Structure 1
Amino acid sequence: MAKSILHKADSRGKADHGWLRSFHTFSFASYHNPDRVHFGALRVLNDDRVDGGQGFGEHPHNNMEIISIPLKGELKHRDNMGNEGIIKPGEIQVMSAGTGIYHSEFNNMSNEATEFLQIWVFPNKRNVDPRYDQAKLHYQQQPNQLEQILSPNPEEQGVWIHQHAWFHIGLLENGNSTEYTLKDPANNGVYIFVLNGSVRIGDQVLDKRDGYGLWETERFTLEATADAEILLMEVPMEIQ
């Protein structure tokens, strides 16, 4: 029988630095909840809002897979590998921090807030060469199906990371449903995060910004109870 864990939107950790307002699904910075440190290899799921012209100055990371998904506005990225550019909604960015990387992220607009998801996944290989990539997403033009946006393999659709993980995103119109089959049901679980709207999984209804982890299952069905935008993160349940 499948196991599950529910994290309602209003139960998340909160941080308000004025220019930055962030909600933490898992323990992060000054928010620590011993029952919510990670979901398998999924370590951080931050829902960030950055004021116009503000952002994160240059700072280091190492031995972590870092994924950014813009939801609104424009995010300007710069790192010590020479990468510099703008990422917007409809795109995904990934960094393998590996042996170490320095980067900065700023709202590229001066008078409008930027919103994005900051996601960290534990890698299955340590001290790899740092790398950067980004890709365009197409799910908004293809409703009622899931688009793969991340995998362990460079040959697969979307970006890739050093972990046995797959991410999918999709729009479900009210009353429509889709089934998700785990790539590795013996070892992985899935964390479902509702970006907008509401969905039902079995008897559980999830609303905007709710999170729901499922494991020890092979597949499940998502049914939209209102027009919904959903992110699915399949990750190993044991950290290597």
Structure 2
Amino acid sequence: MKTVLHPADSRGHANHGWLDSYHTFSFGGYHDPARMHFGALRVLNDDTVAGGRGFGAHPHDNMEIVSIPLEGTLEHQDNAGHHGLIRPGDVQVMSAGTGIAHSEKNHSSAEQVRFLQIWLFPDQRNVAPRYDQQHFAAEGRHNQFQQVLSPSPDDAGVWVHQQAWFHRADFEAGFAADYQLKKSGNGLYVFVLEGAATVAGQPLQRRDGLGLWETETVTIHADSATQLLLMEVPML
């Protein structure tokens, strides 16, 4: 097994006033040649957006873009006529494909919104742009892995053009479980949303990330009440 550790305080950081963003991988003004991506996982941004503010319309192409709200409500709109809200418990994916322009803003004029913006390299280029969004109840991840993303519309979760699987898990203190990788050769990136956990013997705290590869199973132990996001991706 090989691993790479990304402590929370080693991430890139940009505070624009209305947007406070932490970058696990190189993004915008933050560039580190050693932190370009983990396999197909290209971007993992931890964003806080002030009330009434947001990202104006901007284009994307040939990227799978996943939004996971943690607090507050995001409002989404695009040039294909989609307009809706993304709330905690929801997962939205946008396959940018041949190109699409969209905006995301805080739906509230007063309360902040916190969300994860995640980009995956696709395994197919120039596909027709599409969206998928689903809600996942919190009880479905209590002391278990709740699949929220997969490569197939026939599998659980939203689907992407990549051999990737995402799971969320909320573990009680002292609970332990083994994650079995779905596809040989894939790697697993574990991101601690809240709490503390030991992953494959490595202690992790809030917002730490750990990438693991050349393994089939990863043991996770909750050192406190812990919320986790697990992202299994091909190692490019």
> What is the total number of aligned residue pairs between the two structures?
236
What is the distance in 2 between the residues matched to 1:40 and 1:77? 28
When structure 1 is superposed on structure 2, of 137-146 and 73-82 the one drifting more is 137-146
Aligned equivalent of 2:225: 227
> What is the DSSP-based 3-state SS (H/G/I as helix, E as strand, rest coil) of the residue aligned with 1:63?
coil
Residue 8 of structure 2 corresponds to residue 33 of structure 1? no
Q: Secondary structure at the match of 1:234?
A: strand
For 1:164, what is the secondary structure of its paired residue? coil
TM (norm. structure 2) is 0.99
Query: What RMSD, in angstroms, separates the aligned Cα atoms of the two structures?
Result: 0.8
- The structural deviation recorded for 1:221 is 1.1
Residue 67 (structure 2) aligns with: 68
Runs of 4+ in 1 over 6 A off after TM superposition: none
User: In the alignment, residue 16 of structure 2 is paired with which amino acid?
Assistant: H
Q: 1:199 corresponds to which residue?
A: 197
Equivalent position of 1:98 in the other structure = 97
Measured after TM superposition, the shift of residue 141 of structure 1 is: 4.8
- Alignment gaps of 5+ in structure 1: none
- Aligned residues: percent identity? 59
- Residues 151-197 of structure 1: CA distance to partner in whole angstroms, max 9, x if unpaired? 00000011000000000001000000111000113x21000000000
Q: In structure 2, what is the Cα distance between the partners aligned to 1:141 and 1:43?
A: 27
Are 1:85 and 2:94 matched, yes or no? no
Aligned 8 A contact 2:140 2:146 in 1: no
Distance 2:14 2:8 in 1: 14
Q: Partner letter of residue 12 of structure 2? A: G
One-letter code of the match for 1:178? Answer: A
Q: What are the superposed Cα offsets for residues 103-136 of structure 1, whole Å, 9 maximum, x if unpaired?
A: 0000000111000000000000000000011001
State the AA in 1 paired with 2:233: V
The answer (yes or no) to whether the contact 1:61–1:101 under 8 Å persists in 2 is yes
TM superposition shift of 1:88: 0.5
Matches within 5 A, 1:1-240: 2-185=1-184, 187-238=185-236
Q: What secondary structure, in the 3-state scheme, does the structure 1 residue paired with 2:9 have? A: helix
| SS of 1:226 mapped into structure 2 | coil
What amino acid is the match of 1:179? D
> Cα deviations across residues 27-51 of structure 1 (Å, max 9, x unaligned)?
0000000000000000000000000
Q: Deviations over 1:135-160 (max 9, x none)?
A: 01124454100100000000001100
Instruction: Return 5+ residue gaps in structure 2 as ranges.
Output: none
Contact 1:152 1:164 (C-alpha < 8 Å) held by counterparts: yes
